[in-house]
Structure 1
């Protein structure tokens, strides 16, 4: 009588992948420190608590978007739709609260439900129909953009209740004002780090990104992991939308148009491999801060914004090239 073999692929153990998944964040951290030192020599306003608080406020929306993007990229996918999904979520929240008179709490839940649903749709199209993530999210980007414009009539929503802008309020630490949104962003990074490093679902995510077939043969439900990853990413995009509303004080249908690329930039600069299975969530935070520091420092130096975009592009190419060379050498 034949029995099913339970032998795992030679050399594969998903529970020990965490020993190897991190591309050290030392490089991105050194780059961040070097940038801070350089800009400190160029402007005496750079090394101030007020300026660092401003940098954190400027990166908190993209920083939270980049958390969801990191989860997707760790599975060797990519999400081009996250910025527009976030924008749709902000319009749903603000329109329901302002024009429909729905309580702020219910409006927020509705917005989060919409962004989570889009994440679920992305995951379902990828896992069930096998459409590549690039194509899936390119399609949902356009769908989310169209729905945002239709539902908002291409008009900005203003006059928001204070509950929707609470995360934009600040408290003082000494002479420095810190927003509650910044605290929420840092808290989300800590929570994501704990899940990825200390829980079975986090280990499974790395295993699927590293080798999906080998992960499947060890009993990991790869399709479920992928579907859940995209769904959670959608929920995180909704939180980023709440931070955007709190920061700007309006629901802007034109928001998020370039935030998808900014979030990918943060992930890549932070050392997460575009090929999946390797990366560190705190590296993503460092990557977002690198972009924020460069833009802030160059602004203080009076450098036109077009050169800021140029330098960011060069940094991304260098980061991806480094990742590629690292894979070849290993």
Structure 2
């Protein structure tokens, strides 16, 4: 007992890395995150009672693989929405990045690493374009990203020639490979997605840049008056988001093993759905990227569980729409109570 007391006193005086990380995670699990987490747990319990296959390691691994691409897209979407913006172009930008990667590697004969870098670069450039137009021309993010959505969509179809690119080199599909924990196969792409969530969470919660993003979303003018270069910060946010969309494209290529010009057409809405269900406010300044991960898993769990129950796909979409409306309604009620 005396030893335990001494250990506790030592941790209070000089907290260990584990203790600090535990406190940081506890701080990030606020009310806006706990609600979605509770919904995820309840949904999992319900579907476990409806199908004996639901809680198997193979099925749960499949759920995570199915949300891997949209979940990664939602990371970029989260940091944009935290600034009180929105990005409608992310699915189309991702698709263009996949076509650049695959055509550079297969049709043009570039080394696979160069092809991947080229795909990431064009996605990041779209982010720079979005951020520059929003800040320089003072245009609403909705309008800007609606425009770049159409530009990226057209460029994808022009550059691909409406053809799917196949026979990809091994490096491009590496993140679709699996390793086993027990009897459960887990893709390397899943690991990369989780690492991206953790890195983004750390930056948003524990760095000055992250605090500036929240401040910008809460009140842009007040943030500017405190000395934050809001224009530069917005360009950085959209640029980083674009880079993340490129990584999502890399994961998509690894999962499907092709470069498909038809890819990503509804992923922009799916990424917004994950962010909203995760408790991030569409008005900016409030939310957590960990909540976004929970939101993406909620969508994946519902679709998988309903599929195991034999529910038609169209009803899965309907229920997802209802969940989004409920999440936004809860956010509105919370804002009104704060006022």
- Fold-level match, TM-score > 0.5? yes
Question: Does the alignment pair 1:292 with 2:305?
Answer: no
> Is this contact kept in 1: 2:278–2:288, CA < 8 A?
yes
Task: Specify the SS of the correspondent of 1:275.
Answer: coil
Question: Does the alignment pair 1:208 with 2:188?
Answer: no
- Distance in 2 (CA, whole Å) between partners of 1:63 and 1:282 is 11
> Is this contact kept in 2: 1:40–1:47, CA < 8 A?
yes
Aligned to 1:175: 183
Cα displacement (A) at 1:20: 10
Distance 1:57 1:21, change over 3 A: closer
Aligned to 1:236: 244
Question: Does the alignment pair 1:222 with 2:196?
Answer: no
Cα displacement (A) at 1:177: 0.4
Task: Specify the SS of the correspondent of 2:32.
Answer: coil
> Is this contact kept in 1: 2:95–2:156, CA < 8 A?
yes
- Distance in 2 (CA, whole Å) between partners of 1:132 and 1:147 is 23
Aligned pairs for 1:1-330 (under 5 A) are 23-330=31-338
CA deviations over 1:58-93 (Å, ceiling 9, x no partner): 000000000000000000000000000000000000
Higher helix share: 2
Task: Specify the SS of the correspondent of 1:25.
Answer: helix
How many equivalent residue pairs?
312
Q: Give TM-score scaled by structure 2 length.
A: 0.91
Unaligned runs of 5+ residues in structure 2 are: 1-26
> Is this contact kept in 1: 2:131–2:234, CA < 8 A?
yes
- Distance in 1 (CA, whole Å) between partners of 2:28 and 2:308 is 40
Task: Specify the SS of the correspondent of 1:78.
Answer: coil
CA deviations over 1:210-261 (Å, ceiling 9, x no partner): 1110111110111111110000000000000000000000000000000000
Q: Give TM-score scaled by structure 1 length.
A: 0.93
Unaligned runs of 5+ residues in structure 1 are: 1-18
- Distance in 1 (CA, whole Å) between partners of 2:55 and 2:190 is 19
Root-mean-square deviation (CA), in Å? 1.1
Cα displacement (A) at 1:24: 2.9
> Is this contact kept in 2: 1:268–1:316, CA < 8 A?
yes
Task: Specify the SS of the correspondent of 2:185.
Answer: strand
- Distance in 2 (CA, whole Å) between partners of 1:240 and 1:185 is 9
- Distance in 2 (CA, whole Å) between partners of 1:21 and 1:270 is 11
Aligned to 1:3: none
- Distance in 2 (CA, whole Å) between partners of 1:254 and 1:261 is 15
Task: Specify the SS of the correspondent of 2:179.
Answer: strand
CA deviations over 1:126-183 (Å, ceiling 9, x no partner): 0001111000000000000000000001110000001000000000000000000000
Cα displacement (A) at 1:22: 5.0
- Distance in 1 (CA, whole Å) between partners of 2:155 and 2:30 is 38
